[in-house]
Amino acid sequence: MSSSGHSQMQAVPASDPFELLGVKLNPDDTLSRPAFPDMPAMSDPDLPIPILSKDVPVNPSRRTWFRVLLPRDRVRGPPGGKLPLVVYFHGGGFILFSAASAVLESLFEDLVLLLPAVVVSVEYRLAPEHRLPAAYDDALEALEVIRTTKDEWISTYADLSNCYLMGGSSGGNIAYHTGLRVATGGLNDLKPLNIRGLILHQPFFGGMKRTESELRLFHDRALPAVVTDLMWELALPIGADRDHEYCNPTTDSNPGLAAMEKVRSLGWRVLVAGSSGDPLIDRQVELVKVMEEKGVSVVSHFIDGHCHGAELSNREGSMILARVIKDFMSVTTMGC
């Protein structure tokens, strides 16, 4: 869930989260969603546009696919070296948006042009029709297709040996859990794909006990507690609470803590970025601390102000994020 503005925005009172999100839960447990606009794929290099895009199927039976985005000048201009590959998972609380949602347009443009990079935006199944771990399963399957595809754009322009998993909000959660699965052998063979690190922007985590930032921003306009609670209720396996391993990564019994040892041994670096206007910031800070304790090479970038999802409605915010990611990737590349 995203909105414009900062933490100083007027708070909203607790109310119906379905109304706030514009969604309706149907008797068959499907969700009626608003018709969010999508960006059409535009692959013609003769078009006067900065980035080109096209869609590649992953699993037609699940209606999953990914969108490949790259700088137009790489296709139109003289041959150049291959670009880093950023596999991106969109946010929306596991229940909203798609890999092609128009709200992602500015962020994708900044990632593709400022890094620069080939970005692959993954379309995964949404909850509650497909509860977790469906999104994690789809993410792994997308990586397998990326690894083996003969798609010309990926084989020609993407450096598979220089790959990062990235996500914002719930997409950050997906990137995190997908990374843990890969690190612990979720794919039998990654080659020629080589993951260098994870980029988690305002990752969506939770827990049964509210943190200080969740209490302070309980009625936050961008992400009030009633909305996060509903998203977890619709996304987690039936009967699970918010201390489930998919939601709360820092509980003592979470198997992900052991998986962090694998992340460390693989030499991956992790960027966790957030802002003080996000109710979830305390959970992101805690995740950084746990990773550090496990010996993971983690970089944190926390700024003042800015609400949850501000990079999707504030061009300045998306450009700042892209620069932070560029610095992170540059250091990672030099260190390998």
Residues assigned a catalytic role: 169, 278, 308
CB neighbour list of residue 293: distance below 8 Å, 6 or more residues apart: none
Cis peptide before 40 (omega within 30 of 0): no
Q: Cβ distance 101 to 37 under 8 Å?
A: yes
Q: Cβ distance 54 to 43 under 8 Å?
A: yes
Any idea of the CA torsion for 111, 112, 116, 117, to the nearest 10 degrees?
100
Which two tokens mark 72?
A: 């137009």
The Cα–Cα gap between 71 and 118 comes to 8
CB neighbour list of residue 181: distance below 8 Å, 6 or more residues apart: 136, 140
In the DSSP assignment, the letter for residue 101 is B
The Cα–Cα gap between 83 and 81 comes to 6
DSSP assignment of 31-54 equals: EE-----BPPP---TTSS-SEEEE
The Cα–Cα gap between 310 and 3 comes to 6
Give the number of other CB atoms < 10 A from CB of residue 5. 17
The Cα–Cα gap between 54 and 69 comes to 7
Strands (E), the chain: 24-25, 31-32, 51-59, 64-71, 83-89, 118-123, 158-168, 195-201, 269-277, 297-307
Closest C-alpha to 259, from 273, 245, 272, 247: 245
